[in-house]
Amino acid sequence: MIDSVISLVGIPIVKVGGDSLAEVAKNYKTLQDEDMGREEARKELLESHLCSDISRDGQTAALQLFLKRDSEYSRFSDERNRLILKRYTEGLSDEEQWLFEETTEFYMAKLRKLWKYKRMS
């Protein structure tokens, strides 16, 4: 699941307006601002080292997506991986084998849910 997105639309335009850096930090403009000069902003974005993910002709850019971490899934995944390693290095006790099976069942159910969500998107 997506937590947040960074795109060109939200990047601060620093040079346009000619204010000091301290002033820009307080009152920066983005492409979302109606009074933003599009050509000046385009030029700055194409020349900025911060925007290296823009094609040279300015026709293509990338988005950065931040995904939400599923802490419960991560905890079960870590435990499953620990048990897999132990299974192949030392072997598992009956209790650990049961825990491995339960953890794997939860892990696979989560994966099926994610795959279903992905196909629906």
Is the model more confident about 72 or about 26? 72
Is there a single domain that holds both residue 47 and residue 91? no
User: What residue numbers bound the domain in which 46 lies?
Assistant: 2-67
Contacts of 67 (CB under 8 A, 6+ apart): 1, 2, 3
Q: Supply φ then ψ for residue 26, to 5 degrees.
A: -80, -40
State the pLDDT confidence band at 101, using cuts at 50, 70 and 90.
Answer: very high
**pLDDT of res. 120:** 60
Q: How far apart are CA 86 and CA 35, in angstroms?
A: 62
**pLDDT of res. 111:** 83
- Look at the pTM and tell me if it is higher than 0.85: no
List 2's β-bridge partners, or say none: 67
Q: How far apart are CA 68 and CA 70, in angstroms?
A: 6
Is there a single domain that holds both residue 61 and residue 20? yes
- As a whole number, mean pLDDT of residues 45-53 equals 70
Is there a single domain that holds both residue 62 and residue 102? no
**pLDDT of res. 93:** 96
Look over the chain and give the mean of its residue pLDDT values, rounded to a whole number: 79
Is there a single domain that holds both residue 98 and residue 41? no
